[in-house]
Amino acid sequence: GRRTFPLRGYPVASADARTPTGFTRAAVGALELRVPLALVARGIGKLPLGLDRLSLTGFAEAGGGWRPGVPPDVLALRDAGGELVVDAGVPQDAPIRVRAGLAVPLVAGLGVATETVRGYVAFGTAF
């Protein structure tokens, strides 16, 4: 089946031959540094929402792939950036994470030029 190619500085792409990369196999790695800003650990007014903690994350990612008959290029795409991470609870005991960030591609690819700032917001469960 199809899977996404998860580099934050590039648009969502699939790691198969129908994408601009032409990869049928993909590999991605990331380095992150998370810096805690605040441990709030309380509800927000009378809303059924609790705010747990806030943090900043700096990251660098690299990814690429290969296809049969072509040498692997696992560092074809690279990006770097930062994000604000908010861990909350809805309704106060079901953890949810919201990440808002900016990422910059360091290598042109997937229709994006270098130094093009890309903003994003992502939702998921806190770990």
Rounded CA-CA distance 86/58 in Å is 14
Cβ-Cβ contacts under 8 Å for 8 (sequence gap 6 or more):
59, 61, 79, 81, 83, 101, 103, 118, 120
Look up tokens 């991470």; give the residue: 85
pTM above 0.85, yes or no: no
So what's the pLDDT on residue 13? Answer: 62
Q: How far is CA 115 from the centre of its chain?
A: 17
Percent above pLDDT 70 for the chain: 85
- pLDDT higher than 50, residue 18: no
